[in-house]
Amino acid sequence: MADPHVIETVDLCKRYGTTDAVRGLTLQVPAGSIYGFLGRNGAGKTTTIKMLFGMTRPTSGAVRVFGLAADESHSSVEIRRRAAFVSEDKDLYDHMTVEEMIRFTAAFFPRWRRDLEERYLRAFDLPAGRKVKALSRGMRTKLALLVTLARGAELLVLDEPTSGLDPAMTEEVLQALVQHVAGGDTTVFFSSHQIAEVDQIADRVAIIDRGRAIVAGALDDLRERYRRVQIVFDGSAPDVTFRSPGVERIERNGRVLSVLSSGGAERVVEEARALGPVAVDVLPVTLKEIFLESVVTES
């Protein structure tokens, strides 16, 4: 039976010497989703990805991919067979040509999709005869993506797939990912510190900060739940607390009280009315704001 969660971690921890890279990370990635793994540099994203593929062992906690324990060597082999990984460095062989790199990779994978190979070769406009070392950064990314997508893997794990790409190239990469997921039963898990691209293509997101997921869920659900309620007073704003569930942050600034809620606006507005304000505004909160607020609150 297929596991509903392609990736699942429970209270996952990784310690390097005295540094905690990952501290109690719990994640659930459902099949068929495009999952954005958002965090600042050094938040623990790459370490987490390495643990998914058994490239580094967790200090404690559980990590399962396709329901298999990723820290056991025999299941790790199975995971690597069914899941594809593109590292941030886009590991490719510099001495090969584009064509050779593709043929070389194809030889390892019996489920190689020649149709996808040809499609992306055209779509990405890759020069088949050029040496890998002579490729631009964007071309390199596209080649790495091509050899990954054509593997026919059930799960794609991409570590910062668009880092260093210009906006046009980024759009091409995102387009390829959306197209790929729309075309079959693939799950994409990608790390990024680019909020805009996560916003654009992900349907689920986890924000990781210092090794812990501080916000996680369906993106549209977060967009629906998060609200900023701005309350304006005649004189200076009172120093009050709110009892409504989900109040994340209250800021007083002169006559304005700004309340960030992850539990909708209704209850907060009700409480605000009782304070006798001159104006109450409800504003939507963007993923960028959620990210900045939650990362800042922790420090």
Partner 1 sequence: MLFRPNPSLGVPIYLQLMEQVKHAIETGALRPGEQLPGIRPLAEELVINPNTVAKAYRELEHEGVIELRHGAGAFVSAAGRAKKGTDTLRAAQTIVAAAVERLHARGVTDEEIRRLFEAELAGLTKAAVPAGARNAKEKEGHRG
Binding site for partner 1 (CB under 8 A): 32-34, 171, 174-175, 178-179, 181-183, 196, 199-203, 219-221, 223-224, 226, 234, 265, 269, 272-273, 276-289
Phi, psi of 97 (to 5 degrees): -85, 170
> Shortest approach of partner 1 to residue 93 CB, angstroms?
31
SS3 135: coil
SS3 280: strand
Which is closer to partner 1, CB of 96 or CB of 123? 123
> Shortest approach of partner 1 to residue 174 CB, angstroms?
5
> Shortest approach of partner 1 to residue 157 CB, angstroms?
17
Three-state SS across 189-219?
EEEECCHHHHHHHCCEEEEEECCEEEEEEEH
Measured CA to CA, the distance from residue 287 to residue 291 in angstroms comes to 6
Which is closer to partner 1, CB of 103 or CB of 288? 288
Which is closer to partner 1, CB of 9 or CB of 186? 186
Give the sheet arrangement for strand 279-284, strand by strand: 247-253, 256-261, 227-232, 279-284
Q: What angle do CA 180, 183, 188 make, to 5 degrees?
A: 40
> Shortest approach of partner 1 to residue 184 CB, angstroms?
10
> Shortest approach of partner 1 to residue 215 CB, angstroms?
14
Which is closer to partner 1, CB of 90 or CB of 180? 180
**Terminus-to-terminus CA distance in the chain, angstroms?**
43
Which is closer to partner 1, CB of 1 or CB of 274? 274
